[in-house]
Amino acid sequence: MLVSVYQALFSLVGGNESRMRDWMTSYNRAFHKTPAESILTAGGLARTLSYLRGMSSLL
């Protein structure tokens, strides 16, 4: 699932590693924490993946 989060984020930001890092380390109101903190639990990892997939469906 972690690889899927990476792939989804990579796709959303066009592979820009700086933007990926910024997104992972910035506070996100949907998670009430940073995505990096959120993915430390199985539930948070699943929520993060769901969030990213939802964002990609808007593009």
Residue 10 sits in which domain range? 2-57
Query: Residue 59 has what pLDDT?
Result: 74
Residue 14: Cβ-neighbour burial (10 angstroms; 0-12, 13-18, 19+): exposed
Count how many domains the chain has: 1
Q: Would you tell me the crossing angle of helices 2-12 and 17-25 to the nearest 10 degrees?
A: 120
Question: Which residues fall within 8 angstroms of residue 5, CB to CB, at 6 or more apart?
Answer: 39, 45, 48, 49, 52
* 11-52 tens-digit pLDDT: 999 999 999 999 999 999 999 999 999 999 999 999 999 999
pLDDT, residue 58, reads 81
